[in-house]
């Protein structure tokens, strides 16, 4: 954490995939952690082990509910706002809730950070770039987003949240930062959340065909969750306002990803091509020079090793 020590942190969405890893890392560093999550997409199982440890508190509440914020006792010196459905299956099922947590939820989190004098970090996303016309994507790129397409509830929620964070910083001097997260994967992903890595792994482990969208030529740049957490906390410990891209530097096609997962699992599964979703980005890779130069961050787990760890976790989960 770049030498930074926080006494007490709030993680909204802390029972989610990335949020739970953040909670664990902060707790291990000696920080008391409050996890606020309504469990719309998160899971108590993700924080079950943490709840046995001193310094951790789970609060089941909605980040859009002002009463929930009033009920949180004490003062925080770090607020990480990670509450938001992040997979297509979830945000298409919860479109209004997704927009609401990006707007009202972000505002409540900002107001608490301002009142407490806390450092605030917004979890934004590579989806703010839409189907990019610039490659790789720099933080200065404004994006190519369809504001009324099926993915817009997530894209525009995050774009509005970024604007709100920026306005709060300018109007009130709130100590804020924005991190744009690219295609994180690892243990605790849900098999049914619609994202490629857990879907392919689950299919391969069960001997089912791996469903590759379109012809599989679209690319993503995978970043293992431990590296993502490193990047988020490095940004939190810095004075940088962002936005800062955090993501993997190696591009892989979805077809190659599916084939590699079949190979690592030793599965006999075949590839089955299915219709490609509307507005699915064709290429996605972050320019991470800013993170390297300003935060001293770069990913350390290559995607082959990360996939092995993730597949191992899924295999153990299935066996349990």
Task: Write out the two tokens for 12.
Answer: 């909204």
User: Residues 6 or more apart from 123 whose CB is under 8 A from it?
Assistant: 13, 18, 80, 81, 82, 84, 179, 181, 232
Q: In whole angstroms, what is the distance from residue 315 CA to residue 227 CA?
A: 22
Q: In whole angstroms, what is the distance from residue 181 CA to residue 82 CA?
A: 11
Which residue is catalytic, options 91, 154, 185, 224?
A: 154
Tell me the CB-side half-sphere exposure of residue 269, using CA atoms within 13 A: 27
Q: In whole angstroms, what is the distance from residue 244 CA to residue 298 CA?
A: 12
Q: In whole angstroms, what is the distance from residue 278 CA to residue 254 CA?
A: 16
**Helix/strand/coil percentages in the chain, nearest 5:** 40, 20, 40
297 SS3 class: coil
Query: In residues, how long is the chain?
Result: 320
129 is catalytic: no
Residue 290: closest CA among 251, 255, 225, 240:
240
Q: In whole angstroms, what is the distance from residue 190 CA to residue 159 CA?
A: 25
The per-type count for the chain, helices as H runs and strands as E runs, is: 12, 13
User: Residues 6 or more apart from 142 whose CB is under 8 A from it?
Assistant: none
> For residue 90, what is the enclosing H or E element?
helix 88-93
Active site members: 154
């Amino acid at each position: 954490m770049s030498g930074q020590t926080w006494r007490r942190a709030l993680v909204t969405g802390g029972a989610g995939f990335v949020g739970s890893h953040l909670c664990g890392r902060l707790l291990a560093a000696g920080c008391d952690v409050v996890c606020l999550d309504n469990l719309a997409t998160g899971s108590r199982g993700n924080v079950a082990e943490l709840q046995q440890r001193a310094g951790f508190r789970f609060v089941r509440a909605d980040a859009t509910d002002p009463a929930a914020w009033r009920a949180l006792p004490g003062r925080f010196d770090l607020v990480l706002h990670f509450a938001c459905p992040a997979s297509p299956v979830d945000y298409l099922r919860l479109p209004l809730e997704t927009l609401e947590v990006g707007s009202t939820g972000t505002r409540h989190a900002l107001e608490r950070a301002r009142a407490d004098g806390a450092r605030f970090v917004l979890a934004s996303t590579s989806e703010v770039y839409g189907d990019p016309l610039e490659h790789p994507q720099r933080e200065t790129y404004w994006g190519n987003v369809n504001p009324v397409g099926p993915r817009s509830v997530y894209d525009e929620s995050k774009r509005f949240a970024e604007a709100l964070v920026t306005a709060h910083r300018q109007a009130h001097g709130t100590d804020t930062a924005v991190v744009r997260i690219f295609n994180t994967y690892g243990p605790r992903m849900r098999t049914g959340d619609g994202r490629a890595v857990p879907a392919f792994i689950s299919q391969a482990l069960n001997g089912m065909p791996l469903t590759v969208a379109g012809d599989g030529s679209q690319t993503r740049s995978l970043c293992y969750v431990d590296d993502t957490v490193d990047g988020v906390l490095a940004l939190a410990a810095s004075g940088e306002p962002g936005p800062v891209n955090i993501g993997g530097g190696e591009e892989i096609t979805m077809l190659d990803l599916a084939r590699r997962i079949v190979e690592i699992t030793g599965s006999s599964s075949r590839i089955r091509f299915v219709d490609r979703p509307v507005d699915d980005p064709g290429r996605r890779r972050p320019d991470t020079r800013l993170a390297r130069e300003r935060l001293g961050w770069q990913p350390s787990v290559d995607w082959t090793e990360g996939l092995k760890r993730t597949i191992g976790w899924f295999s153990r989960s299935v066996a349990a």
